[in-house]
Structure 1
Amino acid sequence: MKSLNIQSLARCVTARAVRLWIFGLAVAGAITTLPAATPAAAHGERSQQAFLRMRTLNWYDVKWSKTELNVNDEMELTGKVHVFSGWPQAVAKPGESFLNVGEPGPVLIRKSAYVGEVPVPRTFSMDVGKDYEYKIVLKARRQGRYHVHVQINVKDGGPIVGPGQWITIKGDMKDFTNPVTLLEGSTIDLETYGITWTYIYHFFWMAAATAWILYWFMTKGIIVRYWQVKAGKGAELIGQDEKRIGAITLAAVLLAVVVFYAAANKEFPRTLPMQAGLLTGISPIDEPRSTVAVQFKGGSYTVPGRELRIRVKVANNGKEPVRLGEFTSAGLRFLNPEIFTTRPDFPDYLLADRGLSVSDPNPIAPGETRDLEVIVQDARFDIERLSDLAYDTDSQFGGLLFFFSPSGERQKAEVGGPVIPRFQAGAAL
């Protein structure tokens, strides 16, 4: 009786009904998915934890050579990065890193990248506590307005995103070209080179996969096979015809792989492997040792006021008086308006031009050591979700302090450590 019911149901489930069912599911999926597929405005760097952005890579002197380009125009993304000495234990150290650019797809292609004077087409190593200078050469490919970041991918640590700037690209993508001269002297366009065979190979294997799926699907169908397995007749699903088709398909696939490989090897006898090596020994920035020493003495973060207060002991070992002018962390710049009388060229959403103040604004004389209370307060601290450090396990911050002398000389000092979260405005440090 059970076998008779299965055979009756199998006759009822026609191939047309199954196809209509699959088609309906596909249409429903497309209708519900397409409205949500809107372009991304930025890269979600705010979703990264505060400790990851503050205590790993401290970006400074970041510059975009252009903010408006035409298709095929080139621009440079340059700057410096300080590898924080108090690198978090939960994040893999940057022994294997890759200099990259964060963008919504290949809207700009990366023509070249350098750390110092060394080209870095592949992974390189960085040392904790050192500073490195970088340059990325980009070429505009797709018209539109995009948020473009510097980014370093750390093995087992993920991407660490730096400051971003809005870049406008004008023109038409169909005019984009990417010419490259090969070793034998010929020139090819990487944008279109080999694209025909790429399509052929993809559609060939898609057609083969589709034929394989349709064969198994149309012979008995998924539902009928399910019923037979439930009825204990799963062993009868694969007969001699199915085994014969499987063997023929396997032989055809292996033959196609061999033929395609031989054809490609004949046309391109000289090939290079992917650049998967590790560049070591890249020298950090060779800069004079800072004459300003900073010792962290404690701090707090007041959640309602979006205010970071830190106590530091500053020793001026230079020949000129210095004043604290800037605190930078996670790509954000908090400026002392007494030092920065004009607004620097930097993305507005990352620039708090009146976000820094000190308890004693007087210059620190040469040879003097002074205790200072540094107040960092701006809504951007909360908008960029750096205030989440109050909820971290160890509640530690990190960043760079910049001191300026009357002659314009700048001194950099790393600062970081645990801060006490406070949930009441006006609480004492």
Structure 2
Amino acid sequence: MVDKKLIVAALGVVVALGAIGPSLAQIFQQAEAHGVQAQLQSRFVRIDDETWSKQSVHTGDTLTVSGKFVSLVQRDLRGWYTVYGDSPNAGNRWEIVARDPPGNVIDIPGNAIIPYTLTIKALEPAVYHMHTQLNIASIGPGLGPGQTIVVTGEPIIKPIPWTNVAYQSIIIGVAYVVTFATRPWQVI
């Protein structure tokens, strides 16, 4: 038969670890970053020669950013590119006027160099630190080196597209009807 002192000691250890275990886990927690992917694709695609046409614009004016996407891997990738701007205000308002290569989604062949040009219009005054942002499917976003852009002038307020809002509301309403019509009612 197992010694009673051994059972009591083992039970005491289990209770003690249960009581102080969470505190120890908090002290010795591991640094994990699931979902944090900024700059991750630098192993896959690098943004080179990022050049901004202007450093200061007035609202309504356009500026152009150009550069190259350099694939660092042999497999083909798919992604989309835009601009990212951080500023002290919450607006960060820019409108994309033109893209080259055109379209929202681009294919990046393995080991290829893809030149790009993005023309944007400033809609809100602020001091922005702008970057080219490349989002690669199943990998995540990454940023180019960036440039500080000063935008002056009155904000340009775009009208709310109420027809789009109404259309999306109808689609959501239909989805709710289908969901509740096909779900058996349960008494809670």
Q: What's the TM-score bracket when you normalise by the shorter of the two chains? A: 0.5 to 0.7
In structure 1, the residue matched to 2:127 is 145
Residue 98 (1) aligns with residue 80 (2): yes
Take 1:58 and 1:193, find their aligned partners in 2: how far apart are those partners? 37
Question: Which aligned pairs between 1:21-170 and structure 2 lie closer than 5 A?
Answer: 48=37, 52-85=40-73, 94=77, 96-104=78-86, 106-115=92-101, 120-170=102-152
- Separation of aligned partners in 1, 2:38 and 2:99: 27
Pairwise CA distance, 1:48: 4.5
Match of 2:159 in 1: 192
1:375-416 CA deviation, whole Å, 9 max, x = no partner?
xxxxxxxxxxxxxxxxxxxxxxxxxxxxxxxxxxxxxxxxxx
Distance across 2 between alignment mates of 1:107 and 1:49 = 21
Determine the C-alpha separation between the residues in 2 that align with 1:138 and 1:49: 22
Taking the aligned partners of 1:86 and 1:49, their CA distance within structure 2 comes to 21
- Is there any run of 5+ residues in structure 1 with no aligned partner, and where? 1-46, 88-92, 178-190, 206-234, 238-429
User: Which structure has the greater CA radius of gyration?
Assistant: 1
How far apart are 1:85 and its partner, in Å?
Answer: 3.2
CA displacement at 1:49 relative to structure 2: 6.8
Following TM superposition, by how much is the alpha carbon of 1:148 offset from its aligned partner in structure 2, in angstroms? Answer: 1.0
| Inter-CA distance 68–152: structure 2 relative to 1 (3 Å threshold) | same
Alpha-carbon contact 1:73-1:139 (below 8 Å) kept: yes
Q: Which runs of 4+ in 1 moved over 3 A?
A: 47-50
**Where does structure 2 lack aligned partners over 5 or more consecutive residues?**
1-35, 171-186
Counterparts of 2:104 and 2:41, CA distance in 1? 23
- What amino acid is the match of 2:96? R
Q: C-alpha displacement at 1:63, in angstroms?
A: 0.5
* TM-score, normalisation: structure 1: 0.28
Q: In structure 2, how many angstroms separate the alpha carbons of the residues matched to 1:49 and 1:63?
A: 21
- Aligned-pair distance for 1:61? 1.7
Q: TM-score, normalised by structure 2?
A: 0.60
1:130–1:194 CA distance, 2 compared to 1 (3 A): closer
Deviation at 1:122, TM superposition (A): 2.1
- Describe the SS at the equivalent of 2:145: strand
CA distance in 2, matches of 1:79, 1:49: 19
